[in-house]
Amino acid sequence: MASDGSNRTHLACKFCLKTTDRLSQHLRKVCRKGASDAEIEALVEESRSKMRMLVKNLSVVNYEQLRAGADSQKSLQFFTNFLESNGCFISGKPVEADDAIQNPVTDAEEIEDEMDTEHPLLMLSTSASKISSKKVMEEAGLHKKHSDDSPLLQAFRRYLEKKYAKSGIKQEVQNVSRWLYFVNPNEASVSCIHNIERSMQFFKEIGASAASKATLRNYIGAVKKFISYVTSDPQLLEKDSSLRGSIESFLKSMMEVQRTTYKEKSVGRKATNPKECQEVLTNAHPYFVEVIDRANVKTDLEERDMTLVLFYLEALLTLQHLQKPSVLLNMTVQQWLERTRYQGHATGSVAAVIKVKAEREHIVVLQEAEEMWFDTFFRRIRPIFIKRSLKGENEIFFVSSKGQKIKNPTSDVRRFQERFDACLASGQETLDIFTKVISDSNLRDQDLIKRYLKADSSRDESSIDDYICAATMRDVES
């Protein structure tokens, strides 16, 4: 019975760089026509030799070798997933529980952690009377810490320097030091992980103080990274075999405290007019423009910078362009590349018009500066996100820092507003507020804005001109 080839060994052709289960036939018919039998046999044997070398050297790959060659935790995860998905075994890899420790929260919460940084503009408050985080922590008795020379904290610092961006490390080490001191003032020790009740009391007291939600997230994020460090150190785990069980319980308890505390502190100022709806854009704009400028001169951006640009653009489309979440979720790279530039006859302003197909076709009109911001995200930031995923959303314009399609623009905008202590307003609430303002406008302006909100991409160019006029009227001040 003739073989169907399913059990043949695939060999690689070094000329066309493809694999085939009939290499000798392939060489004779495609890549080495006219070659002698001896030459064909030599090429096949050379390919077999390299295949045996691959089986010997890459069937099992040492995790520590991968870790030594990876420039970040995300790169390490990519290489590990890539090799395992292609049939390789990884020896010395941490147990599966480490995945939950490295990523103990949802995608949205991970983005939150990236945004919770000590950059001064990210901590701006709209109230001049707001007490500084340092003073709040001192008054609550939570600001004392162990010496930075502690061997444990020094090791944690080295871990952060290897795995994460350089900036912010000092603050994260100090945050962990304060938690360790609160649990055990006598010694900075991993045994603090066992004292779950005292540890949770630390987070609860921060939550009960006048500290901002961002301050609480900073502390929780730093402690999560400390837990990741502990699980990455075999010596610490071998020295105390009960650590793994305590870590699992610790993370569950911390997530519960996180949920309940955030819920208690979630009541914020509700927007009542268009200016308040767009307050987050005003508060974040100086930092956002700074990041855009650095990106355009090809300066390496930190994670928090790239995430901020993504959130800002989502908020811009939602709160100023009054677009529905479906527009953000369905906007494609092709639609972006096919955008058309128009010059408004009435205003003389140049605008880019994007036609997005969601439930129906929508018109998005970007002013000249806004188009540049979107282009910067597309050229400088989005490619970095895409590389982080084996199944990156290459066709979708808005992707998360993990390279996947964004999941919930409404939640992203809410978190962005909370970061900048801005008035809270969803896209629908903003639209309702604008609708009330429109009713007080003259009839022509009412008609223009209503037509923009119901934009139909099948209309002629004169309608596009009206949309551009309407787009310049969205930033309404009460």
DSSP 381: I
Give yes or no for residue 301 having a pLDDT over 70: yes
CATH architecture of 274-471: Orthogonal Bundle (1.10)
Q: Which of 33-42, 382-391, 461-470 has the lowest mean pLDDT?
A: 461-470
Give yes or no for residue 149 having a pLDDT over 80: yes
Give yes or no for residue 189 having a pLDDT over 50: yes
pLDDT at residue 110 in the model: 41
Give yes or no for residue 136 having a pLDDT over 50: yes
| Nearest to 462, CA basis, from 342, 303, 355, 356 | 342
SS3 of residue 258 by DSSP = helix
Q: Which of 121-125, 168-172, 234-238, 324-328 has the lowest mean pLDDT?
A: 121-125
Q: What are the φ/ψ torsions at residue 225 (nearest 5 degrees)?
A: -65, -35
pLDDT at residue 69 in the model: 67
CA 144 to chain centre: 32
Q: Where are the domains of the chain?
A: 11-91, 97-264, 274-471
Residues in the chain: 478
Q: Could you tell me the pLDDT band of residue 109, with boundaries at 50, 70 and 90?
A: very low
Mean pLDDT of all residues in 50-67: 81
E strand spans, 246-299: none
378 vs 472: which has the higher pLDDT:
378
Give yes or no for residue 421 having a pLDDT over 50: yes
State the Cα–Cα distance between residues 117 and 238, nearest whole angstrom. Answer: 33
pLDDT at residue 135 in the model: 63
Q: Which of 79-93, 245-259, 384-398 has the lowest mean pLDDT?
A: 79-93
Q: Could you tell me the pLDDT band of residue 16, with boundaries at 50, 70 and 90?
A: confident
pLDDT at residue 106 in the model: 37
Q: Beta strand pairing status for 11-13 and 18-20? A: antiparallel
> What would the pLDDT profile of 151-181 be if each residue is shown by its tens digit?
999 999 999 888 775 556 888 899 999 999 9
Rg of the chain taking only CA atoms, in angstroms: 28
Q: Could you tell me the pLDDT band of residue 465, with boundaries at 50, 70 and 90?
A: low
| Nearest to 221, CA basis, from 208, 233, 206, 239 | 206
Taken in order 217, 212, 280, 429, the sign of the CA dihedral is positive
Mean pLDDT of all residues in 81-85: 74
